[in-house]
A and B are shown apart, each in its own frame.
Chain A
Amino acid sequence: MLHINNLHAGVEGKDILKGINLEVKAGEVHAIMGPNGSGKSTLASVIAGKEEFEMHKGAITLEGEDISELDPEERAHKGIFLSFQYPVEIPGVSVTNFIKTAINETRKAKGLEDMPAAEMLKMIKEKADMLEIDRKFLSRSLNEGFSGGEKKRNEIFQLAMMEPKLAILDETDSGLDIDALKVVANGVNKLRSQENAVVVITHYQRLLDYIVPDFVHVLMDGKIVKSGGKELAYELEEKGYDWIKEEVNA
């Protein structure tokens, strides 16, 4: 589904990502772990098309189609969803109205009519219930005055509504207590299918107890230096990142 080949990207001509290779197939969950400043969030942003970053080399394809020149909204229309580490507050625009706009803009791009109001309402209700989101919450201004946990839950709610092919979760576990973490992880698991894929970016192994990855990759200094199965996450949790550094340097 997602194919990243020798990706070099950064700002002002300087590489932050220094040759990333990654292949994510439909039905798979990949975890990307790594110390602070290793380039995890940059990778997420580059896949989603953030204009601040330039791609210097390499290719990103989604289902065989080169997406590296597309605008962020075009990538969203093709089925990429990035759950933000720090979701932005938008006063005066309710959660419901925002998601309606997002869905209908996406449908419009695909040449579809707006989703009928009744269908939209039903879907909103289903997904909100799944994530244990209070109905009152949906009429609040997007992310304004939300707690860390509410923001993340709202991100997963939008993910559930948008039904993307590729979901990238950027530090979704930060700021969540264990109960909220379980609800969020449960929501993501329910959305998993053989047609979609998930990339989980995280510092800690904690979230991976609930969203179990098929592959774990370690990102260091802009490169994937080690890949393995879910047991690699436990090893990192136990031993930290230093042993990998030594391994790489040796």
Chain B
Amino acid sequence: MSLKDKLLSSYLAFEDNLEQDSPIHDLRNEAIKIFESKGFPSKKEEAWKYTSLNALLKSDYSVFPKQLERSIEFKEVKKYFLHDLDTYKIVFVDGVYSSFLSETTHDKLDVCLMSSALNKAKYKPVVEAYFNKAAKQESLTALNTAFAKEGAYIHIPKHKEVEKPIEIINFSTGNEAAVFLQPRNLIVVGENAHVQIIERHQSLSENEVLTNCVTEIFAEKRAHVDYYKIQNNVATASLIDTTYISQERDSDCNVHTFSFGGKLTRNNLNFYQEGEHCNSTLKGITILEDNQHVDHNTLVHHIAPNCESHQDYKGIFGDASTGVFNGRVIVEKDAQKTDAFQQNNNILIDDKATINAKPQLEIFADDVKCSHGCTIGQLDEEAMFYMRSRGIGKKEARALLMYAFANNVLESVKIPELKRRINKLIANKIGVSLGFEI
């Protein structure tokens, strides 16, 4: 049975077990119909031209994975947390909430679970007001909506500055040969509230995992959101990560995506600027090797006037890895005085590595500032010679150059401990230890 058929038949059983008066009951039924008619995306679709899911879809995934009989100890997974920092934690193991590893709160803000939000009456108004409101009717999003059951639910009331970062971590244990996970996150950040969120998907075994994650973020007036995605999974884990960010006036949303691991990663990052004077920042560092594949599909939709967007993606591709950058900027007729900037720089280290870069600007307003730049090159030979002539070996010189290349993306990471971690991940990925931290 194909994965699609399996999902469609699982849905019937899944729906039967749910309460019929759930606020999203109708949404689910509509969503499964969308998925049924559209199916999984194929390379025939323009947006999926360079990323094929075919090989991944052949595995026999367990859609509702069996739970591990023992619980995961904190010390086993400590390294995946920012453990030197005090943080809120929302942790899932094979799709199920782990109260043991988590640290949630309801004190003046809600850092808790989607299952609570969907089932408890007190959250009903928020769910009705926001759930699936930013999401679009794309087939994989619809599939996620149909099965939406668990994930992070974060609600920051207005004027609240959340004093510590929130970590959302999805572990998979390899309890079954292949699992299909579908976390669903809803994040509502009230007027003038500030929040920092770190999201990570981590497999603890070499068994296959395919994750279809959907996150909706709502930034109200003057809200400030810093979101960091750490993608450093094992080589048997794949991720389709779709994020929708809806911004009200004067809000500031920044998403950094660090893609170092995993087999296939597809990032669909969508920003909608609904009010004036919004700022959106999308930054990424991708460092790949072997046969890894990462596809960044970004959209910044400038709907209101006087907004800014900044995109800066750096990629370093080794071995036979492949990268895709498809950056789409739409400036609506009313979005005058838009300032949209997009930059995508890539270095191919090996002859077999590939990058497909495609900026797409659709501008309907006449008084705007839009620019984009894309480069694909090798490591600068002159810079290599400069460093080597100072006694720095070839490997270290390469590493320093890669640091230098990716540096400005790291500069804007506002959590020093996270920055230190990312630096370490980069150093590990490149395979050198430098005598200092940058």
Please pick, from A73, A84, A100, the residue contacting B394 in the complex, using a CB distance under 8 A.
Answer: A73
Within the complex, the shortest CB–CB distance from A36 to chain B, in Å, comes to 19
Q: How far is the CB of B28 from chain A (nearest CB, A)?
A: 47
Q: List 13 A-B contacts (CB under 8 A).
A: A50-B385, A71-B388, A72-B385, A72-B389, A76-B391, A84-B389, A90-B400, A101-B396, A101-B400, A102-B387, A102-B391, A103-B391, A162-B391
B401 interface residue per 8 A CB criterion: yes
The answer, among B382, B388, B408, B410, for a CB contact under 8 Å with A73, is B388
Count of inter-chain pairs, beta carbons less than 8 A: 92
Interface positions, chain B 233-272, Cβ under 8 Å from A, are: none
Q: Which residues of B in the span 46-60 have a Cβ within 8 Å of any Cβ on A?
A: none
Minimum CB–CB distance for B384 against chain A, Å: 9
For B438, give the chain A residue with the smallest CB separation: A92
Are B435 and A104 in contact, with the CB atoms below 8 A? yes
For residue A51, which residue of chain B has the nearest CB?
A: B385
Give B389-409 as 1s and 0s: 1 = Cβ < 8 Å from A's Cβ atoms.
111111011001101101110
Tell whether, in the assembled complex, residue A91 and residue B392 are in contact, meaning their CB atoms are under 8 Å apart.
Answer: no
Expressed in whole angstroms, the Cα–Cα distance for A105 and B391 within the complex equals 6
Q: For residue A48, which residue of chain B has the nearest CB?
A: B389
- In this complex, how many residues of chain B approach chain A with their Cβ under 8 Å: the count is 29
CB-defined contacts of A10 to chain B, threshold 8 Å: none
Interface residues of A (CB under 8 A from B): 45, 48-52, 71-73, 75-77, 80-82, 84, 86-88, 90-93, 97-98, 100-106, 109, 114, 141, 158, 162
Residues of A within 8 A of B45 (CB): none
Pick from A45, A52, A93, A106: contact of B404, CB below 8 A.
A93
Query: Closest Cβ of chain B: how far from A118's Cβ, in Å?
Result: 15
> Would A97 and B438 count as touching, CB distance under 8 A?
yes
- For residue B382, which residue of chain A has the nearest CB? A88
Most chain B CB atoms below 10 A, which of A91, A100, A105, A158? A105
Query: Which among B380, B386, B393, B397 is the interface contact of A84 at CB below 8 angstroms?
Result: B386
What residues of B have a CB within 8 angstroms of the CB of A50 in the complex? 385, 389
The interface residues of chain A lying within 8 Å CB-to-CB of B383 are 88, 90
**Contact between B391 and A49 (Cβ–Cβ < 8 Å)?**
no
CB of A76 within 8 A of CB of B407, answer no
- Interface contacts beyond A93-B438, A105-B396: sample of 11 additional A-B pairs, CB < 8 Å, sorted by A: A49-B389, A51-B385, A52-B381, A76-B389, A84-B389, A93-B400, A93-B404, A98-B400, A101-B400, A101-B436, A102-B390
> Which residue of B has the minimal Cβ distance to A77?
B391
Closest approach, in angstroms, between the C-beta of B48 and any C-beta of chain A?
A: 35
Whole-angstrom CA separation of A104 from B392 in the bound complex: 9
Query: How many angstroms from the CA of A93 to the CA of B392 in the assembled complex?
Result: 14
CB distance from B287 to the nearest CB of A (A): 15
Closest residue on chain B to residue A107 by CB atoms = B391
